[in-house]
Structure 1
């Protein structure tokens, strides 16, 4: 009989997360307890927020169903390794819509992985090569997870940094947020050495180290980290303005566009909208991202972006021509 209630609850939860219905008698037999104990344990899981559904019948059955919130999951070794490898693969490139969530999830998972599993994840990741890559430079997932952990824990972060002109420096920062543009990762942080806010391209960061020293978050001089990054890129001349007209209402376009682009503005008639944004991605990459929205649009400026869209359209048409 399993007398350790927390351990028994975790085992029960692990069984219920298998997509099937478990008869009460089978659960009792597996855990070496009575059916009455199983019923009490099911009630405890429900109190913790796990939506366990019971079915009527001679033996009765239990299964975990979708609820209103995402409760903690119990993973076995193979499942944990599989998820960590997948998150590492996704976090290595900036994938609009999944990027920052992948990094946060990876940081949480790797924090609790036993050393034997962490070694397996690292080995698998090092031994595989993706067939396709992102639009921008690849990033070591370890660098991102160290930074994400420092952001979440409000710990000062120290790292080596290579500027655009090749100058090397050591920085001590209070990290605020990681921001993805869809092609590059940036860290928005308060630089203690410069006594001012700065943005750092993560592909130019080396040897990140969370010092363990806590800090009280400072007020960012912008609405959010994405807005601050947009302003920084404008000042650095590492960006350009785009003006794109979409033939759909603003809310429809907003649901298809990466958040990094910002919110499109509705036109007077409300049936179309205009996206005016500051971007740092190459025009070729922006052309692809606009095309993959599946929406009708027209590039009004800059000319270079319009040229890249025309070239992309012509290339796609040629790809469908019969030989």
Structure 2
């Protein structure tokens, strides 16, 4: 049987994992008797954890919401996870880097010496983007407002600042009416926060950068959520950023024959389909955000290419061929030395 302190920690972790726990199941999971479970529950209550008894045929326990914060108990895995999460919070784009550092210091002070030492030895080096392209920070209050509206299914009104060209000032931006949307998901993509919503005025799905949103109050009426194209928010957002209509497919898709083994081509293809046609020949079906982009991706393979279709892909190869030929013609006769 585990020691009392370790057993109490395990019991608390189980109670936090689900709403209701039958007493017999807790006893089985902890490998103790139901009587010992009752005694351990009483000890946790004395420590300030609001555990209520659940009536029913089997009986059980529930960790209820309390008005006071009881002592914090973490197992080793939880302590490491918390330290990593707080140390990397600065890269989340949520504008909470300083608050996360204070939170880590606060939690560290109430941890046992052993776990405190583990956190102190864990140092995560966060490599951010160069200063020329910093990730925009979003006010945490804006994220909370957007998240609350998504959860409550309430329409939102907000001012949306358009993208500004380099050197532009606030006076260069034209005044625009507030956007009216039905918010569905708050997501992160490439270090930035986005709101996925149904635009009520444009009657279409839109993705809005959260750092450009200034919410207006109060929120609007409640709504019944629409079905997101493709069904999954991850697929929808990925499709939008590669220029698709949100159904999950690329806007440009073509088929070619490459003079390479399928095993070689498949190492470098993520979203495409590779079919072996022989020892040194394969069929590749690939998508991209544009026809020139697709042609350039296929041209990256050092092999002969046969375009199966469509005609748009063949035309893109022709345009790139002319462009590359012109670039080669303008090159100096004597190549510069390789350094």
TM-score over 0.5 (shorter chain) = no
Q: Higher relative contact order by CA 8 Å / sep ≥ 6: 1 or 2?
A: 1
What is the TM-score with the length of structure 1 in the denominator? 0.41
Q: Give TM-score, length-normalised by structure 2.
A: 0.39
Structure with higher Rg: it is 2
